[in-house]
Amino acid sequence: MKPADLTELVALAAVWGGSFLFMRMGAGEFGPFALVALRVGGAALLLMPWLVASGGWPDLKRHWRPIFVVGVTNSALPFLGFAYAAMSITAGLSAVFNAAAPLFGAAIGWLWLKDRLNAPRLAGLAIGFGGVLWLAGDKASFKPGGSGWAVVACLAASLLYGVSANLAKRYLAGVKPLAVAAGSQLSATLVLAIPAALAWPEVLPSQRAWTAALLLAFVCTGLAYVMFFRLIAHVGPSNAIAVTFLVPVFAIVWGSLMLGEVITPAMVTGCAVILTGTALATGLVKPRLQARA
């Protein structure tokens, strides 16, 4: 990987890590529905003109049905889950649970699409999900004022990311990624428009909340897709997916620096275990097995 590509990968991780910070800053005043509608609507405004200019509109028209489903499962619903969680748990913790998405993707691909998993990848699933369960058990409390439902929302969102990744693999193979990205944001916008209007906050959100919402939409969603596609074109998808391992780090750092969130040993340990399992389960790390004489 060239230094310029590595720089862009780190920058993308910093941007996506910032999305958890901005959700934390905006969800309390906007509420999940209004914030997420602004997020996907802004991203659609940025991506749709780019799609048309690049000649990708026919791809969207041809495959709009599966793209619509992916828009719901990969944007509308998981974004709502993380926005809801942002009202009660830290940005860093949400991002750690988000890092489990590739684990869910690998498990669903194994069960549904019959993807083959060798012993190291199966071990990675066990390690990763063990870390998820341990961290969830440590943080989830369903007592009044507890964060149990926020943890459930994060895990449901990560599960949906895993589902949508396999849906795209099954039904959108060969479709231009930009058509999927732009179409999914447009689909999510259409789905959330009425709920967001009904749930629009009665009190006008502060300038701080509006700034967070706009940065979330145009930078952390729209621009991030542009960066991700550039990265895939330059280094390939298998290398670009390495950004997954840096996002929780940046989310934890941003939350600590900007909001004074406490970095706990349990969070760091859980993150390390989940990412280790993810690296094995996705085949990003392939342990060498030495034959015995």
Mean pLDDT of the residues in the chain: 88
Q: Is the pLDDT higher at 62 or at 228?
A: 62
- How confident is the model at residue 1, as a pLDDT? 65
H or E element, residue 266: helix 265-281
pLDDT in tens, 179-211: 999 999 999 999 999 999 999 999 999 999 999
For residues 101 and 166, give the distance between their C-alpha atoms in angstroms, rounded to a whole number. 12
Q: What is the mean pLDDT of residues 78-98?
A: 93
Q: Where are the domains of the chain?
A: 3-281
Task: pLDDT band for 23, please (50, 70, 90 cuts).
Answer: very high
Report, as an integer, the average pLDDT of 247-271: 89
pLDDT of 86 above 90 = yes
Q: What is the residue type of 210?
A: W
Q: Is the pLDDT of residue 282 over 80?
A: no
Name the residue with higher pLDDT: 6 or 159: 159
Could you tell me the sign of the dihedral formed by the alpha carbons of 13, 252, 154, 131, in that order?
Answer: positive
Please give the average per-residue pLDDT across 71-77, as a whole number. Answer: 95
pLDDT at 238: 60
Place of tokens 């942002």: 86
CA distance 248 to 285: 19
Q: Which residue has the higher pLDDT, 287 or 126?
A: 126
* Residues 43-65, mean pLDDT to the nearest whole number: 94
Q: Considering only residues 100 and 235, tell me which one the structure prediction assigns the higher pLDDT.
A: 100
In this predicted structure, the answer to whether residue 283 has a pLDDT above a threshold of 80 is no
Is the pLDDT assigned to residue 291 strictly greater than 70?
no
Q: How many angstroms separate the CA atoms of 204 and 247, rounded?
A: 31
Residues 227-249 have a mean pLDDT of 77
pLDDT of res. 292: 42
Question: What pTM does this model have?
Answer: 0.89
Q: Say whether pLDDT at 293 is over 60.
A: no
Check whether 148 has a pLDDT greater than 90. no
Output the CA–CA distances (angstroms, integers) from residue 96 to 14, 17, 274, 279, in the order listed: 14, 10, 8, 14
- For 240-263, give the DSSP string: HGGGGGTHHHHHHHHHHHHH----
